[in-house]
Amino acid sequence: MILTVTLNTALDLTYTVPALAPHTAHRVTDVAERPGGKGVNVARVLAALGHEAVVTGFAGGPTGAVLRDLLAPLPVRDALVPSSDTTRRTVAVVDTATGDATQFSEPGPVVTPGEWAAFVGTYEELLGGADAVALCGSLPRGIHVGAYGELVRRARRAGVPVLLDTSGEPLRRGIAARPDLVKPNADELAALTGSREPLRAARDARRRGAHAVVASLGPDGLLAVTPDGTWSAAPPAPVAGNPTGAGDSAVAGLLSALAEGVPWPGRLARAAALATATVYAPAAGEFDAARYGELLDLVTVTEEATAA
């Protein structure tokens, strides 16, 4: 079983419009509603790849109830902890003329100390049956900034490999707890290390505590700096579409390959192919399965020089 943690879950709404223009009214041609948050998206992709996936985090209020109703028919086990405050929504507006997406994210709920304690108890129980765990996304209000560091340490004590995918101070605190893998994007990596040069920044992130670093570089693919070597993975060509959830699919690819014992080049190829196939899909947490199969053979994985 692979456990994904989404402390700040969301109900994801995707609006499709013929063309997005400021200061005008828009006729929405399609609406999609999905259970969301980074770890929820990761779990959905893991399940589609054939893995048992469990989601935990918080869900509350009317929005949280809708989220759980939407989760119920999916091949993902719901272990979300109730919160008294309501779950947030995110809205992505997809412009069909350009293929671009614009996203709006509401603030998350306020989590009480008692709710946090209940979550930690659930997390500890789930770790007992987990092959790997992913800690994903932002922190809702009320949770201390070092929360991910605490969860990383609990996973390490349980002997469960842990991937951290967050940003800002939660990433800085979490990486110091020595996660097995961190997966920042280029901006998050630069904010953490102060360097815009991806290879230098990824090496710096490893020195800060991460066992391995996989950086998402947008259309340029992925860069992995690991104890076993350094590799880059590039998709065959840039694609237009909705990039929401592409990084989450990359996380699912890395976790699924880790659970299956796939070596690093294969892990990167899977992650890059899934991320690209997600851009073709209409909503986060989904990927174009046919294109994924094609892309897996087309991703280029290159070993980089290992000198620091």
Q: Give me the active site residues, please.
A: 248
How far is residue 20's CA from residue 111's CA, in Å, rounded to a whole number? Answer: 35
The DSSP output letter for 219 is G
Residues near 224 by beta carbon (within 8 Å), at least 6 away in sequence? 202, 212, 213, 214, 215, 230, 231, 232, 233, 264, 267, 268
| d(C-alpha 223, C-alpha 210), whole Å | 14
The torsion of the CA quartet 148, 230, 249, 78, rounded to 10 degrees, works out to -40
CA angle 33, 37, 39 (to 5 degrees): 125
Distance CA 250, CA 244 (A): 12
Supply 283's token pair: 């909503």
Token output for 185: 């994007």
